[in-house]
Structure 1
Amino acid sequence: MSLTVLRGEILSFMDDPDKSGEQGYVHFHDGILVVEGDKIKAVGPAEDLLSSVSADTVVLEYQNKLIMPGFIDTHIHYPQVDVLASYGEQLLEWLNNYTFPTERQFSDPQHARETADFFLDELIKAGTTTALVFGTVHPQSVEAFFEASELRNTRMICGKVMMDRHAPDFLCDTAEASYQDSKALIEQWHGRGRQLYAVTPRFAITSSDEQLQKAGQLLKEYPGVFMQTHLSENTDEVDFVQKLFPGACDYLDVYDQNGLLSGRSVFAHGIHLCEREHARLRETESSISFCPTSNLFLGSGLLDLAQLEKEQVTYSMGTDVGGGTSFSMLQTLNEAYKVAQMRQYKLSPLKAFYLATLGGARALKLDHLIGSLQPEREADFIVLDYAATPLIKRRLSKCKNLEERLFALMILGDDRSVAETWVAGQCLYQRSQND
């Protein structure tokens, strides 16, 4: 296999740094990352590893940069690229006025593939190497996405939206059709190379009881697949769900009654949760995807991170493009910090970068494959530039330690801070000097 050796400052997480302190991460001021084929072979201090590198091996040197695992986005909609920055609505109106008309176009496989190509290139440019992705109701939208991802060899998770009511007729399927379409996509794509499948009821409002039961049936029949949906994003949404499902204790219970809670279940948002819902998320090892740019843009609310920590609910980071306003995980962490500030909670820079890497991998139960730089892990990593812009270069030159540099990066950085993105041992993106 081909051998690639990179030398520079390296950061990787081993655990939640808020719980494990310095034992939660490894940081080498002068480190070596050895990649063999599509896997990491070794990582450590340069003084320890350089002697094991043969004299004829080219060592890629990175000055004033930081090598770390690729970002993991646990909630994003690839068909919504073209509704980014749409003005003036909150969630339910935004769906009706912008999202649904746009998703109609994905009945066309050519449109779906062009959008998937653009979407994946933007993700990679922003340093995101794995994402949990919504398609549309059209199975061809998911086929197009997986075909584009397979070409890049990215580890992606995607699913066909299941939606049989409270949406335009041109976007509604039926409970049985959604089951059959999802089943066919699972058998074709789940575990094919690096592609994985997520059963994807859009949210409780747009699925009948029968369709949610079919979603639960899929999870029983294919226990290795994921489940993604939305939960308690907006107060009007929560009220509507209570009216639609009077027999449920609360919003989460709608999903729980249909067998949709598990360690591979990711619920986007979870802003307006009660104590019982927190307890069930914890008990079932289900997780929340925190989407701060979307929550602010759509006026949905401020997620209470302190409460999630207290209740021991797993959470990770999502951009939620196109309700969210940026592909950049750095910009997402920027907004996450501000949301936490509004809730009187301090999100540390180490914890923020943990959530965007190993924390995301743990939420997806993929930390044995991705999310950290360890031997035998898949070689998905990025190179961040400490001098990406004159302002960042100037500010970071004043920083005294790693934590200060990380904080400045997540507040001032964006996709321009990503110098390179490597996927499965191959450099898929290198920022031009003109960018």
Structure 2
Amino acid sequence: MTLPASPGTPGRLVLRGDLLDFTADPGFAAPHEAPGVRWRTDHRVLIDAGRIVAVQPADQALPTGWEGAPEQDHRGRLLMPGFIDTHVHCPQLDVIASFGTELLDWLNTYTFPAERRYADPEVSRIGAERFLNALWAHGTTSAVVFPTVHKVSADALFERAHAHDMRLITGKVLMDRHAPEGLLDDVEQAERDCLDLIARWHGNGRQAYAVTVRFAPTSTPEQLVMAGELCRSQPGVYMQTHVAENRSEVQWVSELFPDARSYLDVYDRDGLIGPRSVLAHGIWLDARDHAVLRERGAQIAHCPSSNLFLGSGLFDWAQAQREGLHVSLASDVGGGTSLSMLRNMADAYKIQAMQGTRLSAWKALHAATLGSAEALGLADEIGQIEPGRMADFAIWNWSHGDVAHHRDSLARGSHGSLHERVFAWMTLGDERNLAATLVAGQTVFQSASVM
């Protein structure tokens, strides 16, 4: 169940359990050789005013003044930083698991009709509440989110996230062509809406604005120029969009922008590619595009579940790593079939296996925690269990159901390794394993089984 936020500033809280986080990128090394894995059994995490203030072994006495602080005892459970979903669509919960089309048909058949409803402020408010509750119920505590073209849809997300002190990055979608009536803006009004939202929300608590270009085909060249100017003139804003997801889409972009060298170049020439740029998919990019991403410090949000479901292609994560690209992990709901980052990790493993690479649990989990935080420039706030970071946690049961219980008992036996156990949890687990989620030290989701 999802719990309401407690009023006022959260006080002191102690969490106890087995801590797993990362201090460096494990890369694609063999699990037993992977660097940066930090495993701390039976530790306490001390939280005050929404931040972690100390981490210590459970057999160590609490600091003076902490005696009697409320404690959540999760011994035997896995405590991790909350997951960071770097690409997900709020309104597309309405069309998740829709049958039978590739990307462009899927947008026209399912997505655009659903998004038109978000012009209604009440639909946007209810949708934002449902969406954020669903993120928390899947162990995700921070996200980079697409709302709709309607300003009110971004407002609703910001308001709901701000009320819970959640790290959220979003912004009104820019889309002034090749979409149905009711989903189109124009350059001047879109710019005014963006500036108003930036003034109201960017840097307000844990909220950050993203200049949000739907994808190149739905913006005129004039709108792309305006978006680039926003990125340059508004300090600290992010930019999010889609790139090279599907071969038909890539072909369409080449027809719409015949003077651009590539799909990525459409964005780059207008100043949209930089260290705060989050580009979803990036499957059909060439070596020169990769070099641009590396030089600009931009990231690809890998969306494995969505790529498989829509038949878009197989992203070569290992090659991207060799070429020095930042890669984070994302659900891309509703093209993706689950908000569970664990399910998306399992799909990512399959995609890499089909290309001859074995994705370790360490690499996958790092990409959804510290790796995403670093790519977003937020590693001093989220992604680790470390003093000074925000107390954003997901607390997990190791198994759910008889088969997983049996597999876990074998993995933790005398011949098992920690990676074997974590990999089995990652592969077999989903939101049913989640015991609780905390955002800024406040419980926003708690399973009925731990109440």
Contact 1:357 1:371 in 2 (8 A): yes
Q: Deviations over 1:36-71 (max 9, x none)?
A: 111001113323454667443343221321001000
Structure 2 matches for 1:369-380, cutoff 5 A? 369-380=381-392
Q: How many Å separate the matches in 1 of 2:332 and 2:89?
A: 6
Is 1:4–2:16 an aligned residue pair? no
**Which of 322, 340, 347 matches 2:334?**
322
**Counterpart for residue 4 of structure 2:** none
The size of the alignment, in residue pairs, is 435
Q: Deviations over 1:78-117 (max 9, x none)?
A: 0111100100100000000110111110110000111110
How far 1:170 moved relative to its partner?
1.9
One-letter identity of the residue aligned with 2:257: F
Residue 182 of structure 2 aligns to a residue whose secondary structure is helix
Is 1:259–2:268 an aligned residue pair? no
Structure 2 matches for 1:217-256, cutoff 5 A? 217-256=229-268
Structure 2 matches for 1:277-316, cutoff 5 A? 277-316=289-328
Is 1:366–2:375 an aligned residue pair? no
Contact 2:88 2:330 in 1 (8 A): yes
Which segment is superposed worse, 169-178 or 266-275? Answer: 169-178
More helix by share: 1
Q: How many Å separate the matches in 2 of 1:385 and 1:405?
A: 12
TM-score, length of structure 1 as denominator length: 0.97
Which segment is superposed worse, 380-389 or 63-72? Answer: 380-389
Q: How many Å separate the matches in 1 of 2:322 and 2:94?
A: 38
Q: How many Å separate the matches in 2 of 1:227 and 1:205?
A: 16
How far 1:167 moved relative to its partner?
1.0
Q: How many Å separate the matches in 2 of 1:387 and 1:408?
A: 9
Residue 17 of structure 1 aligns to a residue whose secondary structure is coil
**Which of 413, 417, 420 matches 2:433?**
417
How far 1:11 moved relative to its partner?
0.8
**Counterpart for residue 121 of structure 2:** 109
Provide structure 2 residue ranges, at least 5 long, that are not aligned to the other structure: 1-9
**Which of 13, 30, 47 matches 2:22?**
13
**Counterpart for residue 448 of structure 2:** 432
**Counterpart for residue 401 of structure 1:** 417
Change beyond 3 A, Cα 1:23–1:3 = farther
How far 1:23 moved relative to its partner?
4.8
Residue 398 of structure 1 aligns to a residue whose secondary structure is helix
Q: Deviations over 1:167-202 (max 9, x none)?
A: 112211112221111111111111111111100010
How far 1:19 moved relative to its partner?
7.7
How far 1:421 moved relative to its partner?
0.2
Q: How many Å separate the matches in 2 of 1:87 and 1:109?
A: 28
One-letter identity of the residue aligned with 1:405: R
Q: How many Å separate the matches in 1 of 2:380 and 2:444?
A: 23
Q: How many Å separate the matches in 2 of 1:53 and 1:65?
A: 27
Residue 116 of structure 1 aligns to a residue whose secondary structure is helix
One-letter identity of the residue aligned with 2:83: F
Q: How many Å separate the matches in 1 of 2:362 and 2:119?
A: 42
Which segment is superposed worse, 173-182 or 79-88? Answer: 173-182
Change beyond 3 A, Cα 1:53–1:355 = farther
Is 1:40–2:52 an aligned residue pair? yes
Which segment is superposed worse, 37-46 or 135-144? Answer: 37-46
Q: Deviations over 1:292-326 (max 9, x none)?
A: 11000101000011210111110000100111100
Which segment is superposed worse, 107-116 or 147-156? Answer: 147-156
TM-score, length of structure 2 as denominator length: 0.93
Q: How many Å separate the matches in 2 of 1:313 and 1:22?
A: 19
Change beyond 3 A, Cα 1:36–1:434 = closer
Q: How many Å separate the matches in 1 of 2:12 and 2:406?
A: 35
**Which of 328, 338, 348 matches 2:360?**
348
Contact 2:28 2:359 in 1 (8 A): no
Q: Deviations over 1:350-401 (max 9, x none)?
A: 1111011111111211111111111111110110101333322221111122
One-letter identity of the residue aligned with 2:332: D
Contact 2:26 2:363 in 1 (8 A): yes
One-letter identity of the residue aligned with 1:292: P
One-letter identity of the residue aligned with 1:90: E
Residue 438 of structure 2 aligns to a residue whose secondary structure is strand
Q: How many Å separate the matches in 1 of 2:40 and 2:64?
A: 17
Contact 1:33 1:43 in 2 (8 A): yes
One-letter identity of the residue aligned with 2:206: R
Which segment is superposed worse, 249-258 or 141-150? Answer: 141-150
**Counterpart for residue 72 of structure 1:** 84
**Which of 207, 216, 224 matches 1:195?**
207
Q: Deviations over 1:404-426 (max 9, x none)?
A: 12111111111111100010011
**Counterpart for residue 5 of structure 2:** none
**Which of 87, 109, 132 matches 1:97?**
109
Which segment is superposed worse, 16-25 or 27-36? Answer: 16-25
Q: Deviations over 1:324-369 (max 9, x none)?
A: 1001001110101001111111111111110111111112111111
